[in-house]
Amino acid sequence: MDLPISNSDSSLEWSRCLAACVGTLGIGALLLFIFLIAVDPYDGGKFGLLGIDGVDDRNSFTAVASRARDTNFDSAIIGNSTAMLLDPVGLSQATGLRFVQLSVVGGTPAEELAVLDFFLRNHQRVGALVVVADPFWCVHAETEPPRPFPYWLYGKSSLAYAAHLFSWPALEHAFQRLSIGLGWRKRNNPTGVFKIEDMWPAGFREINRPLVPPPAATIAGRDIFPDVSLLDDVIRKLPANIAVVLAVPPTFYTTIPQPGSGAALEKQACNAALNRIVAGRPHSNFINYRLDNAMTRDRANFADFIHYRPDLATRMSEGIAASIELGNAARIDF
Amino acid sequence: MLFNDYPFLLVFLPAAILLYRLVDPYPQLRIVTLVLLSFAFYAYDNRPFILLLVLSILINWLAALAFARTRRKAIVTAAIVADLAVLGVFKYTNFIAYNLGLVLDRPIPHFDLALPLGISFFTFHHIMYLVDLRRGKAPFYPLPRYALYIAFFPQAIAGPLARWSEVMEQFGRKVYSPGWQREFCVGITFIFIGLFEKIFLGDRIAGIIDPVYARAAAGPVTNGDAWLALGFSIQILYDFAGYSDIAIGLGLLFGVKLPFNFNAPFRSTSIQDFWQRWHITLMTFLRDYVFFPLVNARILPRRFLPLQSNAAMVLTMALCGLWHGASWTFILWGTLHGCALVACALWRRYGWKLPSLLGWVLTVMFVLVTGVIFRAATLDAALNIFQGLAVPANLERGRHLLPLVIIPLMAFLLPASQDIVALLTRRPRPWLSALVGFGLLAILVELGERNVSGFAYFKF
């Protein structure tokens, strides 16, 4: 490209162009950043100067942060979509605690642990924790995460959080939050309650078979469940007055391992590991709802192989509430 | 380090500009600073291979020094052979071993060899200089200047393949001399356009067609999506032209005008025209250092010179294919283009003149179809795509396929990026520069999602 030789006048004009370009970029970036910091697009609590409450976000990966730090609640339901139908309002009424639903759709144990850690860091007083442990908790070796999860939103570092604010999704969330602040939009339900019709249509679809964790490489390795151990580490550090209920969610009966099979032994070992976490802990219990019975044989109780419908959720909630009151002496009617 | 990632754009580049601004008044520091910056750039995520790059520079420079003192051509020849051998070991060992295994009908173990980033490009830079040194066309240069020629960070990984004569004398130039502001505006505009091409055009198409190629690698594509695979040539145009434009822009920020690599290739009206507009610096290299020597070698009697010339064309393009990767798909792609160039030359000589529009349609169709062979992981995968073309295109995804309409139209209709930059920077217009700054801001926000994908030519 032929570039004309510049004289001093044109140098001055080109200096203005350069200043306009770099200035727009620099000042624009700065203003944008100030806006994002002021609004705190995900309501993660690390920033936010405008006092806007809640988010309007359908993505549970990011929406959970706002609820998890809400001090109007003292108890939490942790899990993935297999925990979503547990009604926090019903549990609150049954226990006298204040439950918030923190399920992450498609969440892995590592992601659920990040949410749990975030909830605990944001609450000085905790009443109870309900962790719904699906078969993903029962893998012996750590697996590759299926897709990126915003750990930066749930981590301790404000810097890492700030570094992820400069994006289109963050901007979109910021404008949504601004709209909430201005009263133009409604925030998500603060309890995080889900309606089944929002998630699954009527009828049973033969999809979402539960994970069958690969068997341990050695006999000794059969009792090693890295994610269960991490959960154990967290629970062990909690004061004894915090009730902890670990629940294995029901699945349609055809997917339950046959007694005596290798998969059944694996499941048994995992259940035992989960049980050990709460053994001897007051107001705490391990409940295995993955049973072959009339309820799990009824297709009407399931949307697919792993997602149960409200009737089962209500039964589960009853067991959970009873456990919070009576610990492992609770009668589980399932 | 990727040009389209935060570590480069927010840390390395501003730091490099600042550092060079500080050393600009000291001529003896300019080249050394750029060499060190280039090594840092290369080492950022290629730590094990920085030693290879440094050794490669040292050995080739010592060969040049020995030649300058003794005038013994064997030294330069040995250095070139060694360069090609190193390239061959890293790039073609497993390909040769696999095919040898097929010929001998016994398995040959797969070697765990990682391809050093940019090895094809810095090997070619060595060769260009050494061949011209042996021919007496190139002077001997001191080590820092030679090191910068090989490792200059805007071009080290994926070109443009600059001739030594195009850049050597530009290295170490005083950047902050009268008129630097315009050079910077031009450079920033190139970087903006390059990032735009890569992120908003190339990557958009990649997002649509990558799953199709993944499916083709596993089996037939029978749902009508095979048609989408034809978009690959457009994707790689914007991926590589984007990279080249960023490199050119970066060069300008450090006082070096790198050669252009693309000139609106999808506006070509013949395949010959296409190869004069696509990856121009590689084609110039192949023409001068492979094709001409093959044509000028006395292999066949003089009356068979046209035959030799055509064979040289096919062989050059087959080698061009092989240079892109150790796979039969690349060799087939190159050979097909070589044959097309020969056919085009013969048609020009013996056929009637084609209307430009017909020539354009034929050229574009040929490039899009052969692009499938280039992109497919195997010949079977390419065949799966071609068989899938028997099924009518699946347009169910509606507006999600819009990029595959709009972006090719841009490739067909818009002028080359250097012409667009020339138009935008013909005279100083602060509002336009502010717009470029705004565009860069939008790109930084886009990159904030961390969906950064590497440049296609990094693996060649």
Query: CA A142 to CA A329: how far, in whole Å?
Result: 34
Q: Which of B272, B161, B227 is nearest to B396 (CA)?
A: B227
A16 is a domain residue: no
Q: What does the pLDDT read at residue A6?
A: 47
Q: What is the 3-state secondary structure (H, E, C) of A135-200?
A: HHHHCCCCCCCCCCCCHHHHCCCHHHHHHCCCCHHHHHHHHHHHHHHCCCCCCCCCCCCCCHHHHC
Choose, out of A24, A161, A171, A172, the residue to mutate when testing the contact with B (most B CBs < 10 Å): A24
Residue B450, pLDDT score: 62
pLDDT score, position A2: 47
Q: What is the pLDDT of residue A279?
A: 93
B198 plus B80 within the same structural domain: no
- Chains A, B: CB contacts under 8 A, how many? 98
Distance from C-alpha of B285 to C-alpha of B415, rounded to nearest angstrom: 24
In a domain, B86, yes or no: yes
Residue A132, φ and ψ in degrees, nearest 5: -95, 115
Name the percent of chain A lying above pLDDT 70. 96
Judge whether residue B441 has pLDDT over 90: yes
Quick check: A10 contacting B, CB < 8 Å? yes
Q: Tell whether the model's pLDDT for residue B460 goes beyond 60.
A: no
Among candidate residues B199, A154, A44, the one with its CA nearest the CA of residue A36: A44
Q: Inter-chain contact B428–A16, Cβ cutoff 8 Å? A: yes
Best to test chain B binding among A25, A42, A59, A147 (most B CBs inside 10 Å): A25
Does B219 lie in the same domain as B89? no
CB B120 within 8 A of CB B323: yes
Say yes or no for a CB contact (<8 Å) between A28 and B441.
yes
Instruction: Give the pLDDT confidence of B260-272 residue by residue, as tens digits.
Output: 999 999 999 999 9
The 3-state DSSP class for residue A131 equals strand
- How many angstroms separate the CA atoms of B229 and B238, rounded? 15
Please count the CA atoms within 13 angstroms of the CA of A297 that sit on its side-chain side: 3
Compute the mean pLDDT over every residue in chain A, rounded to the nearest whole number: 91
The number of angstroms, rounded, from the C-alpha of B303 to the middle of its chain's C-alpha atoms is 37
In a domain, A1, yes or no: no
Based on the fold, state whether residues B214 and B164 are members of the same structural domain. Answer: no
8 A C-beta contact, residue B2 and residue B114: no
Q: Note whether B438 contacts A18, CB cutoff 8 Å.
A: no
Q: Which helix (H) or strand (E) covers residue A228, if one does?
A: helix A226-237
Q: Which residues of A touch B449 (CB under 8 A)?
A: 167-169
For the stretch A32-55, what's the b/e string if a residue is b when 16 or more beta carbons lie within 10 angstroms of its beta carbon?
Answer: beeebbebbbbbbbbbbeeebebb
A2, closest residue in chain B (CA to CA): B422
Q: Do A6 and B182 touch (CB under 8 A)?
A: yes
ipTM of the complex: 0.83
The pLDDT score that the predictor gives to residue B459 is 56
Task: Tell me: pLDDT of B453 over 60.
Answer: no
pLDDT at B241: 94
Q: What would the pLDDT profile of A89-132 be if each residue is shown by its tens digit?
A: 999 999 999 999 999 998 999 999 999 999 999 999 999 999 99
Of A17, A32, A166, the CB nearest to B428: A17
- What is the strand order of the sheet A75-78 is part of? A99-101, A75-78, A128-132, A243-248, A285-288
Res B317 pLDDT > 80: yes
- Give the closest-approach CA distance of B199 to chain A in angstroms: 14
**Does the pLDDT value for residue A245 go beyond 60?**
yes
Which of A3, A8, A23 lies nearest to residue B182, judging by beta carbons? A3
Residues 98-157 of A with CB under 8 A from B: 148
Does one domain contain both B139 and B231?
no
Q: Which domain holds residue A274?
A: 60-329
Looking at residue A63, its pLDDT comes to 93
| Nearest partner of B206 among B167, B250, B240, judged by Cα | B240
Give the separation between CA A133 and CA B271, rounded to whole angstroms. Answer: 61
Q: What is the pLDDT of residues A255-292, one digit of tens each?
A: 999 988 888 999 999 999 999 999 999 999 999 999 99
Tell whether the model's pLDDT for residue A1 goes beyond 60. no
- Which positions of B are annotated as active-site residues? 324
Q: How far apart are the first and last CA of chain A?
A: 79
Question: Do B84 and B58 sit in the same domain of this protein?
Answer: yes
B406 in any annotated domain: yes
- Given A18, A29, A169, which is nearest B185 (Cβ)? A18
In chain A, which residue's Cα lies nearest the Cα of B441?
A25
Contact flag A165-B448 (C-beta cutoff 8 Å):
yes
The token duo for A112 is: 């659920």
Question: Mean of the pLDDT values across residues B118-131?
Answer: 91
Domain assignment present for B157? yes
B101 and B208 fall within a common domain = no
Chain A residue with minimum CA distance to B440: A25
User: Which amino acid makes up residue A31?
Assistant: L
Residue B195 pLDDT grade (very low, low, confident, very high; cuts 50, 70, 90) = very high
| Count of domains observed in chain B | 2
Which pLDDT tens digit goes with each residue over B9-48?
999 999 999 999 999 999 999 999 999 999 999 999 878 8
Average of per-residue pLDDT across B360-379 = 94
Q: What is the pLDDT of residue B249?
A: 96
| Residues on chain B touching A23 (C-beta within 8 angstroms) | 434, 437
Task: Give the pLDDT confidence score for residue A170 in this predicted structure.
Answer: 92
pLDDT category at A3 given cuts 50, 70, 90 is: very low
| The pLDDT value given to residue B94 | 86
Task: Verify whether the Cβ–Cβ distance A29 to B432 is below 8 Å.
Answer: no
Tokens of B304: 């068979």
Name the more confident of B448 and A136: A136
Where are any strands of DSSP class E within chain A? 75-78, 99-101, 128-132, 243-248, 285-288
Give domain status of residue A5, yes or no: no
Q: Averaged over A68-72, what is the pLDDT?
A: 95
Both B312 and B359 in a single domain?
yes
Inter-residue contact A59 to A147 (CB < 8 Å): no
Q: Is B418 among the domain residues?
A: yes
In a shared domain, residues B344 and B423? yes
Q: Do the Cβ atoms of A24 and B434 come within 8 Å?
A: yes
Whole-number average pLDDT of chain B: 91
Higher model confidence: residue B453 or residue A171? A171
Based on the fold, state whether residues B173 and B204 are members of the same structural domain. Answer: no
Q: How many domains does chain A have?
A: 1
A55 within domain boundaries: no
Q: Which of A1, A14, A170 sits opposite B185 (nearest CB)?
A: A14
User: What sign results for the dihedral spanned by CA atoms B295, B301, B302, B308?
Assistant: negative
Same domain, B277 and B378: yes
Find the closest chain B residue to A22 by CA distance.
Answer: B437
Q: In 3D, which of B401, B187, B163 has the Cα closest to residue B285?
A: B163
Confidence label for A8 from pLDDT (cuts 50, 70 and 90): low
Which residues in chain A have Cβ-Cβ distances shorter than 8 Å to B422?
A: 1
Q: Phi first, then psi: what are they for A244, rounded to 5°?
A: -130, 125
Distance from CA of A28 to the nearest CA of B (A): 7
Inside any domain, residue A10:
no
- Are B141 and B27 in the same domain? yes
Mean pLDDT within A54-59: 89
pLDDT digits 0-9 by tens, B180-190: 999 999 999 99
Residue B320 has pLDDT above 50, yes or no: yes
A25 and B440 within 8 Å at the Cβ level: the answer is: yes
Within a domain: residue B185? no
Interface probe for B, chosen from A11, A18, A27, A36 (most Cβ of B below 10 Å), is A18
In-domain check, residue A256: yes
Using beta carbons and an 8 Å cutoff, which residues of B are at the interface with A? 178-179, 181-186, 188, 257, 418, 421-422, 428-438, 440-441, 444-446, 448-450
What confidence tier does A25 reach under pLDDT thresholds 50, 70, 90?
A: very high
A residues 174..193 contacting B (CB < 8 A)? none
The per-residue pLDDT for B456 is: 60
* pLDDT beyond 50 at A5: no
B280 and B142 in one domain? no
In a domain, A68, yes or no: yes
Q: Which residues of A touch B430 (CB under 8 A)?
A: 13, 16-17, 19-20
**pLDDT score at A9:** 63
Place B451 in a pLDDT band, splitting at 50, 70 and 90.
low
In this structure, which long-range contacts are made by residues B324-329, counting pairs with CB atoms below 8 Å and at least 24 apart in sequence? B324/B374, B324/B460, B325/B91, B325/B459, B325/B460, B326/B91, B326/B92, B326/B94, B326/B95, B326/B96, B327/B95, B327/B378, B328/B379, B329/B373, B329/B374, B329/B376, B329/B377, B329/B378, B329/B379, B329/B382
Q: Output the domain CATH number for residue A279.
A: 3.40.50.1110
Asked, for residue A181, whether it belongs to a domain, the answer is: yes
Range of the domain at B174: 6-180
